Amino acid sequence: MFKELDPLLHSQLRLAVISLLIGLEEADFTFIKEKTGATSGNLSVQIDKLEKAKYISVVKTFKGKRPLTTCRITTEGISAFEKYVSNLKTYLNK
Amino acid sequence: MKTVESIQLIESMILEVKRDFSYNGFHFLLWGWLVMLAAVVNYILLNYVGYSNHWVGWPILMSIGGIITVVVTLRDKKSRRAQTILNRVMGQLWLTVIIGIVVVLFLMPQIGILNTYPIFVLLYGIGTFATGRIIKFTPLIIGGALCFVLAVVSAYQSFSNQLIIIALAILVSYIIPGHLLYNKYQKNV
């Protein structure tokens, strides 16, 4: 039986962001941008969606004079990712 | 997005993180060679030169190591754009070991130099063994375990022999595993 995949995670960039953050304690916006190869605009939008869903927490500060956006995965985000991977397996076993 | 693409994407991102944060063994090599050099210099000055301040290499070489470590750590911290839990755990573990070494230095006048070096070897062992267990790297686990044995052995030796034992301990716990870590890192990058 196929299990439904979380639409919030079943999107290339959002899944890439969550997959990066799952292995990290925290990461800067520039790090995520470099690793995912996304544009700043698109990444901002997707990070905002993940934050609204409480899958990640975002803290905006300054490093010197430059703005610094730091993201970390939340426990809800970890659960959602684990559920997504587990549901993904139901498609692979068929 | 197809399910296979999802799996590939997750895998590639996890590998990116793994590659970026694999440790090159820099601190083990730096401190390994510095402590080895300090112990050997001390042994030579004590046994072959007969210099009364035979310990002079320690403060000089350890200060050099301290300065290099602080500079490298600050530089890394400044350029760091992401942090793994593992990196933070390792940082805190070694900070604890360093504090332990400083505490023992303050104890030295009271407990005597002959009782001090075995404690240093024990502290090297604690840091190395725990690191090996945490990052699952057998050469560090073996090096750390050997330090535990050498700590006991050195407690029953003369000061001159303790210097040889400390050099041996640093060889098995820092230098050899440090080079193996470096080789592993070079292969992975």
Work out the minimum CA distance from B78 to partner chain A, whole angstroms.
9
Average pLDDT rounded to a whole number, residues B32-40: 96
| Residue B1 placed within a domain | no
Q: How confident is the model over B106-159, as pLDDT tens digits?
A: 999 999 989 999 999 999 999 999 999 999 999 999 999 999 999 999 999 999
Do A19 and B9 count as a contact with CB atoms less than 8 A apart? yes
3-state secondary structure of B83: strand
pLDDT reported for residue A89: 87
Residues paired with A60 in a beta bridge: A69
Q: Is residue B16 part of a domain?
A: no
d(C-alpha B59, C-alpha A89), whole Å: 58
Residues A12-92, CATH architecture: Orthogonal Bundle (1.10)
Give the three-state DSSP class for A41.
Answer: helix
Helices then strands (H, E): number in chain A?
Answer: 4, 3
Is it the case that residue A94 has pLDDT exceeding 70? no
In this complex, how many residue pairs, one in chain A and one in chain B, have their CB atoms less than 8 Å apart? 58
Range of the domain at B133: 25-188
Question: Mapping DSSP to helix (H, G, I), strand (E, B) and coil, where does residue B177 land?
Answer: helix
Which tokens in the block code for residue B95? Answer: 């900070």
pLDDT surpassing 70 at residue A38:
yes
Cα Rg, chain B, nearest whole Å: 19
Task: Find the residue in B nearest to A13 (Cα).
Answer: B9
Integer Cα distance of B157 and B133 in angstroms: 29
* pLDDT band per the 50, 70, 90 thresholds, residue B189: low
Question: Is the interface score ipTM higher than 0.90?
Answer: no
pLDDT tens digits along B42-83: 999 999 998 888 889 999 999 999 999 999 989 988 888 898
Please tell me the predicted confidence (pLDDT) of residue B51. Answer: 86
Range list of H helices, B112-158: 116-135, 138-155
Nearest-5° Cα angle at A22, A81 to B185: 140
| Domain presence at residue B138 | yes
Q: In the 8-state DSSP scheme, what is residue A7?
A: T
Q: How confident is the model at residue A20 (pLDDT cuts 50, 70, 90)?
A: very high
Contact B3, A93 (CB under 8 A): no
Answer yes or no: is B98 within a domain.
yes
The total of other beta-carbon atoms located within 10 Å of residue A15's CB is 24
Q: What is the distance between the alpha carbons of residues A47 and A29, in angstroms, rounded to a whole number?
A: 9
Buried b (16+ CB within 10 A) or exposed e, B130-154: bbbeeeebebbbbbbbbbbebbebb
pLDDT of residue B76: 87
Which positions in chain B have a beta carbon within 8 angstroms of at least one beta carbon in chain A?
A: 1, 3, 5-7, 9-10, 13-14, 16-18, 81-85, 87-88
Which neighbouring-strand residues pair with B24?
Answer: none
Whether B20 shows a pLDDT value over 90: the answer reads no
Total domains, chain B? 1
Q: What is the pLDDT of residue B24?
A: 85
The pLDDT value given to residue B80: 84
Q: pLDDT per residue over A3-15, tens digit each? A: 888 999 999 999 9
Whether chain B has a CB inside 8 Å of the CB on A16: the answer is: yes
